[in-house]
Structure 1
Amino acid sequence: MFIRTIVAAALATAGLAALPSAAYAASAAYTPERVCGPGFARVADGHRAIRARSGAVFGHVYLMYSKRSGDNCVAAIKGAFVGRKTVTGAYLEVRGGGRSEDEQRYRYYAETGHIDGSWKCVRFEGWMRDPSGRTYAWGGRKGWGNCGG
């Protein structure tokens, strides 16, 4: 208890909060499993950082799959500018099975919706812009993958 008090006092003196910001806490509540819904799980090789040309990470994009329904879903979850409406998008394409795209000014994430992808190859993308709209960040897989069902 004594050590915790000293650490909290040192952080307060330095002007740092001991607790995460409200925006960070809100974004941490959005996981790809929560965004895509019950039964969806992360796909192997289905995670990419959404990076600007400078290397700055704006968020992460996840390819999700439900064994029960055979559906795929993509969630692009913000890590920068959380809580502020900025252009955020997600894209999913299933070879021979359609595509879904979602792009708007979101506070926390974009999500494609569900597309049947059982035993079909898929590709996915996520993107974001900074509040000024000048800096663009992208992540995903342009080639086909996850073809095994």
Structure 2
Amino acid sequence: MATRLRHNIRRATAALVIAAAGVLAAAPPAAAHTLDEAVRSGEGCTWASGSYTTLHSTRLTYGAEYYGTVYLLWHGGRGENCVVTLKGGATHGVSGYTEAVLRVQGGPTREEGERFSHYAAVNVAARGACVSYEGTIVHPTTLRPVSGGRPGWDNCG
């Protein structure tokens, strides 16, 4: 009987290890905890130098609850804008739908929206063009979406 119990415990432990490995392997790559980490990340703005200017930002809140902040950034040397939707408060570190959208007037629209734990980010060349941007975070338990940004064309240059 003790041998059978040990065998069942080993099988259950092996199943838990395999399940945990699957969850870790499926974790989204966007795992930066700060704006600077997201800017430098290969899954973020990809600006390894970290040289950028924050042009605009919008706190994403529902009532008094803070979900995160969406940022419009500019890298003058590269002539690129980047939008980072960085999770905060109760949404930080919790996998849930997070989106970043960047529109270039007369040019492309880039967007990224998936289940991320920390941020979503997109960048695009925009020298000499006006841009608009938006970020969305869906609360992981209430499933309430909150969006913000700037819908009108601005930061032309």
Common fold: TM-score over 0.5: yes
Query: Hey, what does 1:64 align to over in structure 2?
Result: 73
Cα 1:135–1:115 shift into 2, 3 Å: same
| Cα distance, 1:28 vs structure 2 | 4.1
Higher helix share: 2
Length-normalised TM-score, structure 2: 0.68
Letter in 2 for 1:33: V
Contact 1:33 1:42 in 2 (8 A): no
| Cα distance, 1:120 vs structure 2 | 0.6
Cα 1:28–1:106 shift into 2, 3 Å: closer
Instruction: State how many pairs are aligned.
Output: 120
Length-normalised TM-score, structure 1: 0.72
Q: Which runs of 4+ in 1 moved over 4 A?
A: none
1:91 corresponds to 2:97: no
Percent identical residues: 31
- With 131-140 and 120-129 compared, the bigger mean Cα shift is at 131-140
Contact 2:85 2:135 in 1 (8 A): yes
* SS of aligned partner of 1:83: coil
| Cα distance, 1:103 vs structure 2 | 0.5
1:41 corresponds to 2:52: yes
User: Which of residues 120, 138, 146 in structure 1 aligns to 2:147?
Assistant: 138
Gaps of 5+ in 1: 1-25
| Cα distance, 1:142 vs structure 2 | 0.8
1:124 corresponds to 2:124: no
Q: Computing the radius of gyration over CA atoms, which structure comes out larger, 1 or 2?
A: 2
* SS of aligned partner of 2:39: helix
Gaps of 5+ in 2: 1-30
Q: CA RMSD in A?
A: 1.9
In structure 1, C-alpha distance between the alignment counterparts of 2:74 and 2:115, rounded to whole Å: 25
